[in-house]
Every structure is written in C-alpha cells, then in structure tokens.
Amino acid sequence: MTEKEKMLAGKIYDPTDPELSALRAKAHRLSKEYNDLLENDPKRQETLKELGIEGDSFYLQGPVQFDYGCFTSIGKGAFANFNFTCIDCCPVTIGDNVFMGPNVSLLTPMHPLRWQDRNPYVKPDGSTTDKEYAKPITIGDNCWIAGNVTVCGGVTIGEGCVIGAGSVVTRDIPANTLAVGVPCRPIRAITEEDSLENHPELF
C-alpha cells in the first residue's frame, strides 16, 4: 500500500511521504487563495474545484482551512460560516443542507496515546517523521452543527441532528437528536413538538 492508501484506510502512515506532502501544500495554498478572494468572486468556485472537493452547490463563507480537500465531499445546500477547518486525512462526508456555524472543526487525525509511540522519530534516511492514523467523519443530511463545535475522527452524526454550540463530538450521535456538551451527549429526540407551528411566540 502507498502511504496515501494507508492513511485513507485508517492505518499508521508516514505524513512526510512526498505525495502526501505535495497534496497538503496544494490544499494549504488553495485555502489561502480562497480566503483572499471576495465572497462574490466567481474564482472562489474554481478554487474549490481545484481543491478537489466533491460537490458543487454548497457555500463556504471563509476563511477556510483544508488539509487535503480532495478527501472531502459536501452535499447540496450545505453551508459553513466563518473559520471552517477540515483536516481530512480520512474521508469527510457532509450531507445535503448541513448548516455549520462559525469556528466548526472536523478533525480526522488520531495520534497514539503513549508518548513513546507518538513522539517524532528519525527514519533510516535521517529525516524525521511520526506515527499517525486517522478515522473518517460523516455528517448526515439536514444537520445543524452550531458554532465552535469540534467533531473528532471516527464520528458519525445521523441525519437531522442539532449539535449545540461549543460541543466536542467524540461518539456517534443518533439521527434526529439534539446533542450538546463536552463530551457531546444526546439530550433528547427532535420531534414534531419542535415545529415552528407549535411556537407562535416566535412570529
């Protein structure tokens, strides 16, 4: 397996691999170019296509930061507010009509818990690297991920969920659930009682 194949399969890989280093450098450059463009500049869409993000009818307010970009797919009608970070060392899948507030971070990388395994080491060629792996993130359709939420690797958020502001999501969240906290935990199901029709005070 190549180092890229290992990374995407969730196995220990060498992040200093030339292919991966080149992909990251490209994504970091294109993220900066996107951020430097005005939000109504048509070049923004071209930049996202060059990043290799799958999907073409979503909106990223910017600034954004992708580690690879090409391992992320974003559904129709999805929206990310200011300061969206996506470290996509494993596939990141964002469904249709997903709303993401400011400062949302989707973080797939994992590091060994023991420092003896985690710290940098010198390879036979004299260069330095470390042992890393990653886990995918999936966000179902019609979710609202509120501001300052961090989603960790290996998490699936079911469709129709609301994740409260400031939450750190470390475990799967069932569909149609309101979940909040650090660590993020389900609070209750989202039901018909939450329909705006049942809250005339909002109008």
Catalytically active residues, by annotation: 111
Terminal CA-CA length for the chain? 58
In contact, 102 and 125? CB cutoff 8 Å: no
6: tokens are: 């290992």
